[in-house]
Chain A
């Protein structure tokens, strides 16, 4: 256990060094947030029907999404890709720790440190000037924090799955190109799920992806009452467990058929 903890904290501290990238990310996310909010503003102006998610909540939702974007499992780990390509992945197999756990720990650090660097300044600026509101209630805030922890564990399971897929594809085409697109749409990152047609919502609420964005963000704005949070947490954990098991099984198969490239 101590070995894994050292792995997470070492990578976490290393990733905190990329502060220039975080400044760039901050600018990008601020710009995108403003564009998205203007698009929503225009759509909300166009309809006088009562909305399942009020405009002010959508604004908060957009800022949460822009701030926490780096936490989503939307890309593969470039270092693991390089390891697989160069054949150096063989060294990973030699280490006296469980490979799945090690890669999962990498993902944990990789999904938290950059997010922390970007989200804090963005939330401050968006909160002061651009309509990001505090959580709907103290209970909502607590539920949001627990759900974000669940989202992190779930997201890292998906990230690790994508990294494992590199053992088959060696480049980030195929699954590593398609899965991020699915994540962005099905999690509610691109459009909040309550705005989807009813038939699509029924399907999307069963998939693992809603646990990444839809559940925590709607708890934050109070669109899902905090009292309803327990089954949602259970769903997050169940999907996380299922995807971890799938990842472990795939990694075992991948290790057996792995041909190390290069001499």
Chain B
């Protein structure tokens, strides 16, 4: 276990050093990401400017939802590159090489790359989050920090689990399927707004099937101290982010089944 963690950080170190060889490109891409994702918040801002409020939620409150989910997504998006590109690996037969090495395949894929340019989205999420909490006059007490950390870790786990599941599908389809991607992107889009505004089937989907709301909506409601229109008790808001690690663990189990099913395409 210790050895695996050590190896993982060695992998990441190599990836980071290689990306920093192209410093200008890294800076350009990060700034590009910052601007490209920053412009997404413009649409939220425009809608609030026009309508004033969203069923009792203010722009600053939505900014906290938006910021936290974007931070969580940026972490897993940066760390899950290996799984994201896995379809190509199955297609070319390169996955065989990973199977020959005396380490778990999930570890090797996880260590493939830490995509530094995702720092653009991270910075954007942070800016929106800090702006929102400053507007609301939220003090970052240890309780709130703990909830925010739980939301970010839980959310990152769920997004990571989705990347793993998307890669797992490639064992059967050899092609990365856009459909899982749409759940990921749709999840970011959905949880940027409070869950309470959606119709019931959508709320259930993102609570029980892909439990993203457990790692964004419920802890954020506790951070904001906003009474939950869905009526969730406070203890649940605290425990909900645990759904994240559980989802990731489940996804990794499915991954193991997929690996057992693998037949090489290579010659």
- Which A residues have a C-beta under 8 Å from some C-beta of B? 20-21, 24-25, 27-28, 31-32, 34-36, 38-39, 42-47, 171, 173-174, 177-178, 180-182, 184-185, 190-191, 195-197, 200
Contact = CB atoms under 8 A, between A and B. Distances in A.
B35 A38 contact: no
B179 interface: yes
B28 A195 contact: no
Contact of B197 (A31, A36, A39, A178): A39
Contacts of A24: 177-179, 182
B32 interface: yes
7 contacts: A28-B186, A32-B189, A35-B186, A42-B54, A46-B52, A177-B32, A197-B50
B182 A28 contact: yes
Contact of B186 (A32, A47, A173, A178): A32
Contacts of A195: 46-47, 50
Contacts of B199: 38
A43 B182 contact: no
A177 B43 contact: no
Contacts of B55: 42, 45-46
Contacts of B54: 42-43, 46
Contacts of B202: 34-35, 38
Contact-residue bracket for chain B? 35 or more
B5 interface: no
B182 A177 contact: no
Contacts of A47: 51-52
Contacts of A44: 51
B39 A182 contact: yes
- Nearest 4 A-B pairs (CB), nearest first? A24-B178, A28-B182, A42-B197, A177-B32
A75 B135 CA distance: 36
Nearest to B36: A181
Nearest to B198: A38
Contact of B39 (A25, A27, A184, A197): A184
* Max count, chain A CB within 10 A of own CB: residue among B29, B39, B55, B189: B39
Interface string B19-58: 0000001001100110110011011001101111111100
B190 interface: yes
A185 B47 CA distance: 12
Contacts of A28: 178-179, 181-182, 185-186
Contacts of A39: 47, 193, 197
A231 to B, nearest CB: 25
A191 B43 contact: yes
Given A28-B181, A34-B202, A197-B46, A173 B32 contact: yes
